[in-house]
Amino acid sequence: MLQKLAAVVSRYEELTSKLTDPELAQDMDKFRAVSKERADIEQVAIKFKAWEKATSDLKENKEIIEETSDAEFRELALNEIGPLEKTIEELRQELLILLLPKDPNDEKNIILEMRAGTGGDEASLFCDELFTSYVRFAEKNKWRVEILNSSAGTVGGFKEVIARIVGHGAYSQFKYESGVHRVQRVPQTETQGRVHTSTITVAVLPEAEEVEVNIQDKDLRIDVYRSSGPGGQSVNTTDSAVRVTHIPSGLVVICQDEKSQHKNKAKALTVLRARLLSAEQAKVDSERSQDRKSQIGSGERSEKIRTYNFPQSRVTDHRIGLTLYQLDYVMAGELLLVIEPLIAHFRAEALRGEEDQDDF
């Protein structure tokens, strides 16, 4: 580990020197590449240098205590020991976090897919409410939300909604939302005040660039038809709705929210690329990325990652045993209340593996 960190510092200094080379400034692509690489490792280099200095200072103070007979001088050195040891440990933890393998998808936009599961109309209504919470969270981060396709429930809400969320780091925050979400509350139609349980499924897919997923025209079957609303009635008079079928995988994507056939086709291909990328990543690294089916499950009540209990104003994340009595805040878009503990938990899990093999 120490050799790895020393190599990072050496590379950082090399890149810093390169940036002062007038010839590099003549090639903006190379200049940007060097600048980005330097920025990526800057914090590691700075913190490791600080760790080395604190470690050296600690060693010097211990030597003073052992070798000096001057009581006042020894006391000054002794007073430095505790703070230095604390600083060294804090820097060690920060370095371990910085060196954790990064998810290559963390900075990407996302495709968000939500569907009503068990619970009928109540599930559709909650699908709409949780989607609204996600939209509010996105707005707080200044991310753009674009609905790609939706299907309304019979009494309102969504039977299905697919959206694209555009913003730096969107996947890093939303990736923890994939799974089955359970809601417990008294529906408006319930006359006896009984609490009902409903579920919705959420899948969060990193958006794929065209260069990441090569889709051949010959592998696509594209059907167009008139968009329909609740109950199946036509909502416009042109064949603008698009159904794209990826023949090799059997994946089907439907988009009908736009009045333009071309826009619906473009949106459908965006969703298709994201699904294909997710499936491919699942094959390459099942621990890092799950395929779409395992993300959303079947929607049964037993397959849950989180429960929203309205009578108790309680949110429980079952993956880490987190319980909060702040349901109103979560539904208002304050999702960091649950996301930050999840990040801390999975980071701690990863750190435990690193600490088993680190040597500093």
207 pLDDT band (50/70/90 cuts)? confident
Q: Which tokens in the block code for residue 29?
A: 């692509």
Residues 31 and 151 in one domain: no
The pLDDT assigned to 302 comes to 47
Q: Does any domain span residue 25?
A: yes
**pLDDT higher than 50, residue 289:** no
**How confident is the model over 121-137, as pLDDT tens digits?**
999 999 999 999 999 99
CA distance 338 to 342: 7
CA distance 228 to 308: 32
The pLDDT assigned to 29 comes to 86
Q: Does any domain span residue 306?
A: yes
The CATH number that applies at residue 89 is 1.20.58
**pLDDT higher than 90, residue 144:** yes
CA distances from residue 44 to 61, 94, 273 in whole angstroms, order as listed: 26, 9, 34
**pLDDT higher than 60, residue 10:** yes
User: How confident is the prediction for the chain on average, in pLDDT?
Assistant: 85
Which among 99, 131, 161 is the end of a domain? 99
CA distance 61 to 88: 14
The CATH number that applies at residue 327 is 3.30.70.1660
**How confident is the model over 251-264, as pLDDT tens digits?**
888 888 777 788 88
Q: Does any domain span residue 358?
A: no
Range in 11-15, 142-146, 235-239 with the lowest mean pLDDT: 235-239
359 CB neighbour count, 10 Å cutoff: 7
Which among 75, 99, 123 is the end of a domain? 99
Residues 138 and 279 in one domain: yes
Residue with tokens 């804090």: 90
The pLDDT assigned to 290 comes to 44
Residues 170 and 150 in one domain: yes
Residues 6 or more apart in contact with residue 236 via CB below 8 angstroms:
226, 227, 259
**pLDDT higher than 90, residue 149:** no
Domain ranges, residue 211: 110-346
Residues 6 or more apart in contact with residue 77 via CB below 8 angstroms:
61, 62, 64, 65, 68
191 pLDDT band (50/70/90 cuts)? low
Range in 272-286, 289-303, 336-350 with the lowest mean pLDDT: 289-303
Tell me how many domains the chain contains.
Answer: 2
Mean pLDDT of 175-184: 94
> Closest Cα partner for 246 from 274, 284, 205, 225?
274
**pLDDT higher than 90, residue 309:** yes
CA distance 204 to 291: 10
**pLDDT higher than 60, residue 233:** no
Residues 174 and 317 in one domain: yes
Residues 160 and 86 in one domain: no
What percentage of residues in the chain have a pLDDT greater than 70? 87
The pLDDT assigned to 219 comes to 83
* pTM of the shown model: 0.67
CA 76 to chain centre: 48
CA distance 213 to 215: 6
Long-range pairs of 357-360 with CB within 8 A, sequence gap ≥ 24:
357/1, 358/1, 358/96, 359/1, 359/2, 360/1, 360/2, 360/5, 360/51, 360/92
The pLDDT assigned to 111 comes to 92
Q: Does any domain span residue 104?
A: no
The helix/strand count (H/E) of the chain reads as 9, 11
Residues 214 and 251 in one domain: yes
Residues 260 and 233 in one domain: yes
CA distance 199 to 214: 35
Q: Does any domain span residue 353?
A: no
Q: Which tokens in the block code for residue 41?
A: 């490792």
**pLDDT higher than 80, residue 280:** no
**pLDDT higher than 90, residue 110:** yes
Residues 6 or more apart in contact with residue 49 via CB below 8 angstroms:
9
The pLDDT assigned to 239 comes to 67
311 pLDDT band (50/70/90 cuts)? very high
- Can you tell me whether residue 308 is helix, strand or coil? strand
**pLDDT higher than 60, residue 235:** no
Q: Does any domain span residue 120?
A: yes
Q: Does any domain span residue 270?
A: yes
The pLDDT assigned to 67 comes to 86
Strands (E), the chain: 110-116, 144-152, 158-166, 179-185, 196-206, 220-225, 241-246, 251-255, 306-309, 314-317, 322-324
Residues 21 and 119 in one domain: no
> Closest Cα partner for 178 from 134, 231, 223?
134
**pLDDT higher than 60, residue 245:** yes
Residues 197 and 250 in one domain: yes
Residues 161 and 301 in one domain: yes
Which among 99, 128, 160 is the end of a domain? 99
The pLDDT assigned to 331 comes to 97
Beta bridge partners of 184: 197, 309
Residues 237 and 271 in one domain: yes
**How confident is the model over 210-224, as pLDDT tens digits?**
656 778 888 888 888
Q: Does any domain span residue 47?
A: yes
What letter would DSSP give residue 177? G
Mean pLDDT of 59-67: 90
**pLDDT higher than 60, residue 294:** no
Residues 257 and 292 in one domain: yes
The pLDDT assigned to 232 comes to 47
What percentage of residues in the chain have a pLDDT greater than 90? 44
284 pLDDT band (50/70/90 cuts)? low
**pLDDT higher than 70, residue 157:** yes
